[in-house]
Structure formats: C-alpha cells, structure tokens
Structure 1
C-alpha cells in the first residue's frame, strides 16, 4: 500500500514538472512574440502596406493601358509619299499618361493619307508623320509626259514638273506633285484646273522649241514631307492666259501683269536662238537624255538580277521531310499527316522606270 502511495506521489510530481515546463515554454514563446516578433511583424506589415500604396499611386498616376497604332513588325518599304494602308498598321498598348494629342488612336483618321518621312517597323504613328495632298473640286488625275525621267523614280515620289528652254532658262511649271503611276515616259499626277492650263502651255512651248533643245523634265524631292513645295514660276502665252481668265472653274485668277513680264523673258530668250545654235543644243540635250535613260535601264537590270537571285536562292532551299507517325491501332481513326512549309523570302518590288525619249 505504501509503494502505491509513493508511486502516485511520484506521478503527481512528474506531471506537475511537465506542466510547469510546458507553461514556461509557452510563456517564453508568447513573451518573445509580444516582446520581439510582434512589433517586428507589425513593422514589416506597415512597410509592405506603404510599398503597396506607393505602387498603387504610381499605377493610378500612369493610368490604364491604351491602344495606339504603330507600323507592323516586319513591314518594309515605308518611304516618304507611300499611301497609308490598313495592312501596314498594328495596335500596341501604352500607359494612358503617355498619350499625347498627336498619337493615332483611330486608324481611319490616317488611312489613305501619305507618309511624310521614311518610317521603320514598330514606330508609333502620329499626325506629324502623315500628310494630305491638297484637293479641290477641280482636281483630276492627269497623264503627264516628260522628256527625261529621274533615275530610280518610283510611285509615291514627289516631283517638280519643269521646262528648260534652249538657252537654259529653267521654269517650274507644276511643283510638288505626287507620282501616282509610271508608264514609260508618262506619269500620272493630280492637277487642278489652273494647273491643267499650265501643263498644256508647257507642252506647246516644248513642241515649238524641242528642235532647238527645249526639254520637259522632272526633279525629285529628297524629303517631300519636310521640304517646302517650290513656288511655281512659269508664264503661259497670251491666248492661254485669256482662256484661264475666262475659265469659270478657276477661282484664283492669274495675275496678267506678272504673267506678261515673265512671258516676255521666255519669248525673248527663244527669239535669240539661231537655227544653227538650236541644232547643237538639241543634239546635246538628246545625248544627256540618252545617258539618263541608260542609267535607268541599268538600274532596272540590276534590280531584276537581284530579284532572280533571290528566287533562285529560294528554289535551292531543301524541302523538309515530314516526320513519320506511328501506325495507329486498327480500331482507331487514321491520323492526319501534315507537312511543314518553308516561308519564302519576300520579293522586292520592281521599280517601273520609263525608257526612251519623247520626240
């Protein structure tokens, strides 16, 4: 009976020690939490809350993402004067706070206009990068002939249409015209009513003076979207001037006094050319025109050779062998087989350059 009492007493002591140790351990951890870890955790929480608040304020300041229109990746050949087409464009998102009034948010506002400068892929479009050709109710497409075409002239280039008389008097008949099409020695441009009369007058002058060396030619702008258009400087004969004054489609009439002064200069220069001098000048102009035409033909041949070389290189590329598939079980449906395709390299456009000289 005494042994049982001792054993029970020992068990109570053991239990009491264990409980006391547990209380000490728990008390120590709880104390450490309140004394050490609690404040530290609170400080960390405050720090993170502040960082989140700063980030949220930054996001609010930057604003939501907004889509702007840019040149599509992989697009090449965006040169000054090229018409803006929907296939050139893609949308990219930037923060709203970065948006300015010049960014293009609606592609319809620029499609059909013309690029002012050469643009590379990925460039965000703005109103400053496009331009519009002025047009009124009398604007028409017109086929214009030229004795000499610039080497490398292409659709989208801007040119001045000029006439040079036998003794070198050079006049700008039609300034800053976009080349809409090229066919041999003829280009398609847009002309207003008064410009059509100027063109017809320059043709008459050319026909009458071509045997003495008069030449119709084009001069190409380097940066048409940046350079200011030249001021036209040419005068029509009196009979055409009378028609232009009477033409009800011409709103801004020609200043007869200024036209008369300039026309006197033209007629005086022409009257000073003797038949002998005219023949020499005409031969020299024909020689120069022939050399320019030769340069155009050479450029066209080089471009064709480059095109043929690219086509030959593409044809020599190996055709990939389809990866064989395992035969399906008899009870299953036959598997579809596919053959990988090689994406061919893009072929550069061929410039349509005129040959020969208009006689």
Structure 2
C-alpha cells in the first residue's frame, strides 16, 4: 500500500512538472511572439514615417515661380511689365489662383489697392475693356462736384429737376484729371449727346447736374443710366449750337457761385482745424509707410 501511494505521488509530481514545463514553454513562446510582432510593427511604422517625411521634404523643396508687385498699386490701375517682379515660392504655399504667367497679368486692372511685394492672383484683377473708336476726352466745368473729389475717383453724373425727379446721365466714369471745378472724363459719342441734352435741360428747367463718387468702384457694379435724352432739346441744339455754350456757361457760373459760397463760409478757426488734421494725416501716413518698409 505504501509503495502504491509513493508511486502515485511520483506520478502526480511528474504530471505537474510536465504541465509546468509545457506552461513555461507556452509563456516563452507568447513573449517571443509578442516581441516579434512589436518589432515588426515598429519597423512598419518607421517605414511609413520615413515615407511621409520624404514626401513632406519633397513637397517643401518643390518651388514655383509667381509674380509680385515692385511698388504700391492703386485700385483701378493697369499693371505694366515694370510693375512686376518674378519670385520663387514653395509650391504648397502658393494660392490656387496665383497667376504664374506674366501675359495673364500684364494689362489687367486691379480691383483693390496692392502693397509692394504682393503676390498677384486672379481674384484681384479684371480685364480692361477695349477702347472704342468714338471715345473722346471731355472737359466739364458745369457739374457740381463733391468737395472730396480727386483725380482717378469714379463717379456717376446725375441731373435733378425742381420737381424732385433725379436721373443718372453718366455711369461709373473715372475722373481722368481735375483742376478746381473742371474735370476731364472720357466719353463715347452717345454719352456726349446725352450730356449735352442734360445741360440744356438743366439750363431751361433750372435743374442741377451733380456728381456722386463710388465707395468701392472696382467692386461695385456700374449704375444704369436713366436719363432720357430729350429729342426736342437735341433738335434745339442742332438749330442753335450757341444754346449749348450758353447753357454750359450758365451752369459753370452756378457751380462756381456755390463753391465761392462754401469757401466764404470757411472761418479762420475751421481752416486752422482742417490744416491741423491734414498734418496729422500726413504724419500718420508717413509712419505707416515707415512701418511697412521695416517689415
């Protein structure tokens, strides 16, 4: 009986030892397998990270040539070759609408003002209209102009009758030149006739012809002329050409009289305040230019 128990005990020990060995071998296998899988995953991650870094470096190293302005360009100006300079940029930093060919830029008109060293894109330019054969420069001194009007501003010319009726004679015209109360506009033949009709209408019916400036002329649509040229007035002009001259002179005198009235109402104190504001404005503009140059 004792031997039987001892043999059973030995068999049990042997079974437990064998199970322990098997378990140990299994655990070692799991550890080795896990380490192998981890190493494999690390190698794969390193491989993909290397590929991504190479792609990023390659993209960063890719350069493309664009065109920048060499001076400050005002809104509505036509770009010339001398206004442009070619410069290389990282391909991933260039806007999708950047214009890469000089031919796509030269001769185009700017919608907004551009600072020096600005990359030229399609969104800030528009195509200039071809000049028609009947365009003529017309000096005008009979239109009441805004006090703040300056050369290159864009205006509508309107006529207002004593009845309150108000019509647009000329739409979105750029002031080519301005001297005191005389401005120069470029007009077509039909616009010249319409303006002539309006001048005589204003002379005969005590109406006033005045100008209004656009706020953002390169972004705003032009107004539609609403003044109906008077056939009878045009006939009167053809019969008596001098009436147009008399009408222009009469309106010119009226416009000048209004200007003289405004000037006479200017007190020495308000003139001094205006001069002080002009000095402050010029100093502020100079400081802005200096800050821009430093940058």
> Does the pair score TM above 0.5?
yes
1:206 to 1:98, Cα distance in 2 relative to 1, 3 A: same
Q: What pairs up with 1:165-176 in 2 under 5 angstroms? A: 165-176=161-172
Check conservation: 1:175, 1:232, Cα contact below 8 A: yes
Q: Deviations over 1:11-36 (max 9, x none)?
A: xxxxxxxxxxxxxxxxxxxxxxxxxx
Q: CA deviation at 1:229?
A: 0.9
Check conservation: 1:81, 1:178, Cα contact below 8 A: no
**Backbone CA RMSD of aligned residues:** 4.6
Task: Tell me the equivalent position of 1:182.
Answer: 178
User: Quick check: 1:143 aligned with 2:143?
Assistant: no
Higher deviation after alignment, 56-65 or 187-196: 56-65
Task: Tell me the equivalent position of 2:198.
Answer: 202
Q: CA deviation at 1:171?
A: 1.1
Higher relative contact order, structure no. (Cα contacts within 8 Å, ≥ 6 residues apart) = 1
User: Quick check: 1:291 aligned with 2:291?
Assistant: no
Structure 1, unpaired ranges of 5+: 1-43, 244-281, 314-344, 346-359
Task: Tell me the equivalent position of 2:77.
Answer: 82
Task: Tell me the equivalent position of 2:66.
Answer: 68
1:287 to 1:141, Cα distance in 2 relative to 1, 3 A: closer
Give the Cα–Cα distance (whole angstroms) in 2 for the partners of residues 201 and 54 of structure 1: 72
Check conservation: 2:201, 2:233, Cα contact below 8 A: no
Task: Tell me the equivalent position of 1:230.
Answer: 223
Structure 2, unpaired ranges of 5+: 1-41, 237-252, 291-295
1:221 to 1:146, Cα distance in 2 relative to 1, 3 A: farther
Matched residue count: 229
Q: CA deviation at 1:191?
A: 1.6
Q: CA deviation at 1:121?
A: 4.0
Q: What pairs up with 1:1-359 in 2 under 5 angstroms? A: 53-61=51-59, 64-72=62-70, 75-76=71-72, 78-86=73-81, 88-97=83-92, 99=94, 102-134=97-129, 135-209=131-205, 212=206, 214-239=207-232, 287=258, 290-291=261-262, 302=275, 306=279
Q: Deviations over 1:165-205 (max 9, x none)?
A: 23332111011111221122222222222112112212222
Q: Deviations over 1:190-243 (max 9, x none)?
A: 22221121122122223334xx3x222110000112211111110112146689
Give the Cα–Cα distance (whole angstroms) in 2 for the partners of residues 233 and 137 of structure 1: 24
1:130 to 1:168, Cα distance in 2 relative to 1, 3 A: same
Check conservation: 1:161, 1:174, Cα contact below 8 A: yes
Task: Tell me the equivalent position of 1:256.
Answer: none
SS in 2 for 1:291: helix
Task: Tell me the equivalent position of 2:5.
Answer: none
Give the Cα–Cα distance (whole angstroms) in 1 for the partners of residues 176 and 160 of structure 2: 24
Bigger helix fraction: 2
Give the Cα–Cα distance (whole angstroms) in 1 for the partners of residues 260 and 165 of structure 2: 18
Give the Cα–Cα distance (whole angstroms) in 1 for the partners of residues 65 and 271 of structure 2: 46
SS in 1 for 2:191: helix
Give the Cα–Cα distance (whole angstroms) in 1 for the partners of residues 221 and 103 of structure 2: 26
